[in-house]
Amino acid sequence: MNQILITENNNPRKNQNNKEKKVKEVKTKAPKSSGDVNGIAKVFAVLILIFGIALSGDGAYAIMQNIETAKNATVPTVEVLKSGNKVKLSIKCETGIRTVSYAWNDSTDIIVQGRGNSILEQTISIPSGENKLNISVIDSQGVTRRYVKTLKQDTKDVTEPTIEFEPDDANTLQIIVTDDKEIDYVTYKYGNDDEVTVRATSEGQTTIKATINVVAEERLLKVEAVDKEQNVATAEQKVKGVSVDSKPTAQLTLDPEDSAYAVLKVQDEYGIRMVDWFVNDQEYKTDPNISLNQNTFEYRFKIDEGETKITLRVYNIKEQVEEFTWTIQN
């Protein structure tokens, strides 16, 4: 019978080599795939992002606040009004003014403190020739805005226009603006009505006229006139028209200091042309050929003892006539 004999290798050197091979096989494992490395990197990236957001939350909120504040911020308005050899700066800002600085051309800035007020006005002299006025406004929130205005100072014309008001009748008023050289435009605003601008229509024009209709209630009329050299004049006047059903009124009273005298008071919104009255049989009247052209008339006269009858007629400039009668027992 054939037999296969299994024998052990008792060669210590060979056994040692085999052990080293086994050890090396255990230590040299196959490297991980690239997909596993990418996954670990993504996990770390997410953790870092979350950590960063947590740290920067307050900063992000502050940025959003700044963006919202910028959206709601009101831009300051700057008006530059030239009058003769001076210019008036009028700055308005609803959020409040911290400072206003201005300088002609490249000169050093002059700083004016706003102290948080919403309006600041400053009048300054204009240098000769053509100049750039640089203006910087810093509001109460620290936002800076810059403005530039070019002004030409011609020493030949430093006179501002003149503004006059002349009633046409009880319910219309004429604005008359004149300039010694050349008028540019006139702007007016009556009460809450829209602002109206009337410009010169020809070269060398020195006068602009505008007529407005006035109402019975009292309103403020504001006028600004500017000539070609940008000299500015302003004027304001309270204006009151007349109600369409207005009529003359009259009052007769005894003088509180001396009852031997009576005081006659007449009023008319359109204007009184003439007053005619009788004290018993004695007639009195103002000059019929000369209109009084005034809204009030007052006359003090002596009355006799006993009964006195007074008859009065009032004529206004609209030729309305009202008659009044009184009887006084003295």
Q: Is the pLDDT at 29 greater than 80, yes or no?
A: no
Global pTM value: 0.44
Say how far apart CA 308 and CA 305 lie, in whole Å: 8
Q: Is there a contact between 140 and 74 (Cβ–Cβ < 8 Å)? A: no
pLDDT-based confidence at residue 163 (cuts at 50, 70, 90): very high
State percent of the chain over pLDDT 70.
Answer: 75
Q: Is the pLDDT at 6 greater than 80, yes or no?
A: no
The closest alpha carbon to 84, from 232, 207, 234, belongs to 232
Q: Compare 289 and 177 and report the one with higher pLDDT.
A: 177
Mean pLDDT value across residues 103-128:
90
Find out if CATH 2.60.40.10 is the number for domain 249-329. Answer: yes
The closest alpha carbon to 310, from 298, 322, 325, 296, belongs to 325
Greatest C-alpha distance within the chain: 185
Say how far apart CA 177 and CA 168 lie, in whole Å: 16
Parallel, antiparallel or unpaired: strands 294-302 and 162-169: unpaired
- Assess whether the region 77-153 and the region 162-240 belong to the same CATH fold: yes
Q: Is the pLDDT at 290 greater than 60, yes or no?
A: yes
Predicted pLDDT at 279: 92
Q: Compare 67 and 51 and report the one with higher pLDDT.
A: 51
Runs of H (alpha helix) within the chain? 12-27, 34-55, 57-72
Say how far apart CA 318 and CA 328 lie, in whole Å: 31
Q: Compare 168 and 36 and report the one with higher pLDDT.
A: 168
Q: Is there a contact between 195 and 210 (Cβ–Cβ < 8 Å)? A: no
Question: For the domain bounded by 77-153, which CATH number is listed?
Answer: 2.60.40.10
Predicted pLDDT at 83: 75
Say whether 88 sits in a helix, a strand or coil.
Answer: strand
- The string of pLDDT tens digits covering residues 134-145 is 999 999 989 999
Neighbours of 311 (CB within 10 A): 15
Say how far apart CA 59 and CA 52 lie, in whole Å: 11
- The strand ranges marked E within the chain are 77-83, 86-92, 97-104, 110-113, 119-125, 129-139, 144-153, 162-169, 172-178, 183-190, 196-199, 207-213, 218-227, 232-240, 249-255, 258-279, 282-285, 294-302, 307-316, 321-329
Say how far apart CA 139 and CA 324 lie, in whole Å: 65
Fold of 162-240: Immunoglobulin-like (2.60.40)
Burial class (CB in 10 A: 0-12, 13-18, 19+), 293: exposed
Sequence spans of domains, the chain: 77-153, 162-240, 249-329
Q: Compare 61 and 103 and report the one with higher pLDDT.
A: 103
